[in-house]
Amino acid sequence: MTYLNKKHLYFPILTLTVILIYQLIKTSLIIKNFPIHWFIDGTSYMAKLFFLAKYGFHSMVPNWYHGFILLKYYAPGYFFTFYPLYTLTKNIGLTTYLSFIILLAFSLLFFILLGKIENLNYIKSIFLFLVFFLNPASFVSFFALGRLPTLESFALLILGFVILRYYKNKKLDLKFLVLFTIFFSVLILNHPSVTILYSFLLLGFMLNKKIKENIILISSFIISIALTSFWWVGFIQQSGVQLKGFTAINFTNLISYGTFISLAFIIIFFIQKKSKKELIFYLPSLILSLLYLTRLLTFIPYLNKIWPNAFNLYFTFLATFLLLKTNFKDINIKRIAITSIQIIPFVVIVFLFLYPTNFTYSEIDKKVLNVMPKINEDVLIVNPPNKDIPVAAILYAYGAIQHNISTPSGFFYHSAPLSLLESLDQVTILVKEKECSKLKKELKELKTPLILTYYDYCTTLKDCNFKEEINDPPVCLFKNTID
């Protein structure tokens, strides 16, 4: 029986390190160029951090949705963490990029701590770190979409895993109570979905502990709930659209990276020699992986509202960790594992081409950004279909940060009433169908005099007798003429 050798990891580590450095250099452009095509979700978080500094936590923000309460319906942890940094830099792009680097650095530290506890050498710890942050799920989430709050929450999950593994054969005491209460409180404030996933590890941990020790765990849990109640009480009182009727898991993509990695986790677990304690510890996660693999999670409340990439990241971590801990009995299985490890960099390279993150500006981008400073009233952006133009929601974030622009729309629909979202959708339909009088009436009801659009939609607004404010083809800005 043999473990994976360090020499098996040299090639993927070298290759993945080069890829990581390359991606971080590309992403550094957000310091001077606000991202308007990639880092999509990240622009929403940039706006929230800006709003936090400008208006304050749980304050009314007037720039979007005719006013919304900041961070009532989104976990505030990431923004609390990097608010002090933003007050120092006064640069939202620089703060966001530095937060990315800082979170990666702490994640690497947590992986190294895990390696020390689990007798994994530095090479294996670094490999685990690189695979976790450069697998398809993380590449899309962190580099293409810029989901840095998710990155922070998974960094915390790794730390939480370290705590559980450190105490797996130790008696829980007052030190654990204090440490775990702080950790779990911070995790709750960072990401409800990741908190739920971590709870499966916590359940396995509790099943291995005696009743007296579980009393300490439960006490820590209750204290954490109490300490974070200033946020979650408002969060669960969802008065906007929120997650009502929303399901993130379904049967549409049974064959995906999630299918592969959840199955890999199950297979890797069962090919290794394991104690009863280890079986109990991973049992809740194994059951979860089966439910996810078969998509039966679709029918389970709350779990079916967690985005697939969160599951993918969770099972990627567990599968890779267990692979490095596996003492292979069968040499053929070990060869398969070694071959799979060598293939990883090539898979990542494929994703570099599928998601070619680019933070430079095209001529159209420059034109629309030149229009933004000239907007001095509430505006709606209506994008024609199938055009290579900036995402409207991103421009709302950019406009609010750079020029204090207001809109009845925004980039966080959870904070908006359903009736408002329906009206916004109706505007797009009316422009497309050239319903001039109805369009003018709808805009008046939305108290929005300006429309920014492109290409043929400019002609439509001109034909509808809207007042032309700016026309720099293919970009145009029109004003409603209705009294």
365-394 in b/e form (b: 16+ CB < 10 A) is bebbbebbeebeebbbbbbbeeeebbbbbb
Which residue carries 């706006």 as its tokens?
47
pTM summary value? 0.93
The domain spans of the chain are 6-33+72-354, 363-479
Comparing CA positions, the residue from 130, 137, 136 lying closest to residue 111 is: 130
> Is the peptide bond prior to 12 cis by the omega test (within 30 degrees of 0)?
no
Question: What pLDDT tens digit does each residue of the chain (483 aa) get?
Answer: 578 888 899 999 999 999 999 999 999 999 999 999 889 899 999 999 999 999 999 999 999 999 999 998 899 999 999 999 999 999 999 999 999 999 999 999 999 999 999 999 999 999 999 999 999 999 899 999 999 999 999 999 999 999 999 999 899 988 999 999 999 999 999 999 999 999 999 999 999 999 999 999 999 999 999 999 999 888 877 644 455 555 666 667 677 888 899 999 999 998 887 788 999 999 999 999 999 999 888 888 888 888 889 999 999 999 999 999 988 887 888 898 889 899 998 988 988 888 888 888 999 999 999 999 999 999 999 998 877 888 999 999 999 999 999 999 999 888 888 889 999 999 999 999 999 999 999 999 999 999 999 999 999 999 999 999 999 999 999 999 865
- Helices of type H across 294-410: 308-325, 331-354, 363-371, 392-403
Residue 324 and residue 334 in contact, taking contact as beta carbons nearer than 8 Å? no
